[in-house]
């Protein structure tokens, strides 16, 4: 593995490019949106600077890492010499299927195609290619430069060889791979999302307010963030769509998104990214509670 291509330069794509470049890989970072590429390079530069300031890397290492990243707006060009492609584009099934068709056509025949999807079936994505044995999930956690885990998802036809190469590559970038099979929500979101949904239900039913629910889970369970704050951080639309995938995949009522979550998403209160969710993120009211009125 020498040449990595990352498709999608948003929140996750820039973190993935950062971490591979920092560990000596050449990275082609590709996005359809030129501004997203500019923003990503700016973010990577700033995040690398932060590491220099904390004396985790040297200034030379920072410069060297940046010089390893090249940006592209066309997938065929970005992947033509890739050993590994990691797709981190928007979480839409049709988008990912289309991208994997293009990757299959333009990436070298022995190139491994990975997806960072949070919830879409790897088996389904792999079926859009002529190399399902070389398709795998690499589910990085946000923020990528900090979080150690990569949940590795084996699709129905992923080969042992592909799993082994991806395991070793994950270790080489100093992350911890944990392998799971491809069922809805994999492991991380299958366990996390019902917990977040239950926290929203307790608010919806008036059992307690936002601060109390998060306070109990932080202080009582030693969680670094309460479930409602975490939901705001992830994005309430993302939480709802993962719950929808679990609900559709297992056909079990326990995964149905809480009506309060559905309403907040419909109203555009998506959490941190929209400025308001269970907390208020507007400039003068950072993370102030707003949702107690729901109880
Ligand atoms: N944000 C998280 O906390 C998180 C955590 C783990 C996994 N993920 C997964 O990572 C993936 C990316 O999420 P994100 O939060 O970085 O999204 P994002 O919206 O920040 O970025 C997605 C980027 O993909 C680009 N894109 C869309 N279609 C494209 C195409 N056809 N070709 C190239 N680029 C394209 C968009 O322009 C955008 O810049 C999703 O599958 C998501 O489920 C997200």
Question: What does the domain layout of the chain look like in residue ranges?
Answer: 3-181, 188-294
Spell out the alpha helix ranges (H) of the chain: 11-22, 34-53, 59-67, 75-79, 93-106, 122-126, 160-172, 188-204, 210-221, 227-234, 236-250, 259-266
Average pLDDT of the chain, as a whole number: 95
Contact 115, 6 (CB under 8 A): no
Q: Phi, psi at residue 181, to the nearest 5°?
A: -90, 165
Q: Measured from the CB, is residue 114 less than 6 Å from ligand 1?
A: no
Asked if 284 is an active-site residue, the reply is no
Q: Measured from the CB, is residue 149 less than 6 Å from ligand 1?
A: no
CA–centroid distance, residue 31 to ligand 1 (Å) = 10
Range 185-214 average pLDDT:
97
Q: Which of 28, 65, 115, 139 is catalytic?
A: 139
Asked if 151 is an active-site residue, the reply is yes
Asked if 189 is an active-site residue, the reply is yes
Q: What top-level class would CATH report for the domain 3-181?
A: alpha beta
Q: Which pLDDT score, from 0 to 100, does residue 263 have?
A: 98
Is the model's pLDDT at 220 over the cut of 80? yes
Asked if 14 is an active-site residue, the reply is no
Q: Measured from the CB, is residue 11 less than 6 Å from ligand 1?
A: yes
CATH number of the domain located at residue range(s) 188-294 in this protein:
1.10.1040.10
Contact 257, 243 (CB under 8 A): yes
Q: How far is CA 80 from the centre of its chain?
A: 24
Range 243-253 average pLDDT:
96
Q: Phi, psi at residue 91, to the nearest 5°?
A: -80, 70
CA angle 118, 123, 126 (to 5 degrees): 100
CA distances from 4 to 95, 109, 220 (A): 20, 15, 42
For residue range 60-99, what is the model confidence (pLDDT) as tens digits? 999 999 999 999 999 999 999 999 999 999 989 999 999 9
Q: Which pLDDT score, from 0 to 100, does residue 140 have?
A: 98
Q: Measured from the CB, is residue 230 less than 6 Å from ligand 1?
A: no
Is the model's pLDDT at 253 over the cut of 50? yes
Measured by CA distance, the residue closest to atom 39 of ligand 1 is: 10
pTM for this model (two decimals): 0.93
Q: Phi, psi at residue 225, to the nearest 5°?
A: -135, 145
Is the model's pLDDT at 252 over the cut of 90? yes
Q: Measured from the CB, is residue 30 less than 6 Å from ligand 1?
A: yes
């Amino acid at each position: 593995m020498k040449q990595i291509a990352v498709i999608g330069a948003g929140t996750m794509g820039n973190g993935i490019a950062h971490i591979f470049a920092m560990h000596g890989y050449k990275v082609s970072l590709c996005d359809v949106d030129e501004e997203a590429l500019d923003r990503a390079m700016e973010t990577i530069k700033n995040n690398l600077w932060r590491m220099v300031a904390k004396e985790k890397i040297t200034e030379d290492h920072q410069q060297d890492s940046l010089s390893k990243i090249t940006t592209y707006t066309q997938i065929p060009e970005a992947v033509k010499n890739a050993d590994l492609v990691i797709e981190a584009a928007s979480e839409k099934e049709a988008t990912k299927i289309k991208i994997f068709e293009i990757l299959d056509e333009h990436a070298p025949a022995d190139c491994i195609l990975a997806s960072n999807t949070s919830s879409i079936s790897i088996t389904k994505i792999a079926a859009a290619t002529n190399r399902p044995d070389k398709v795998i999930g690499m589910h990085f956690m946000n923020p990528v430069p900090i979080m150690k885990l990569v949940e590795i998802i084996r699709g129905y036809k992923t080969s042992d060889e592909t799993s082994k190469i991806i395991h070793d590559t994950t270790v080489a970038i100093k992350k911890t791979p944990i392998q799971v099979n491809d069922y809805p929500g994999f492991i991380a979101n299958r366990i996390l999302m019902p917990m977040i949904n239950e926290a929203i239900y307790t608010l919806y039913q008036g059992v307690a307010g936002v601060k109390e629910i998060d306070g109990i889970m932080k202080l009582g369970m030693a969680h670094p963030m309460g479930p409602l704050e975490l939901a705001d951080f992830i994005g309430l639309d993302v939480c709802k769509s993962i719950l929808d995938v679990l609900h559709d995949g297992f056909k079990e009522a326990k995964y149905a998104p809480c009506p309060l979550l559905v309403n907040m998403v419909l109203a555009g209160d998506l959490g941190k990214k929209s400025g308001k969710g269970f907390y208020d993120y507007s400039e003068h009211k950072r993370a102030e509670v707003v949702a107690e009125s729901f109880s």
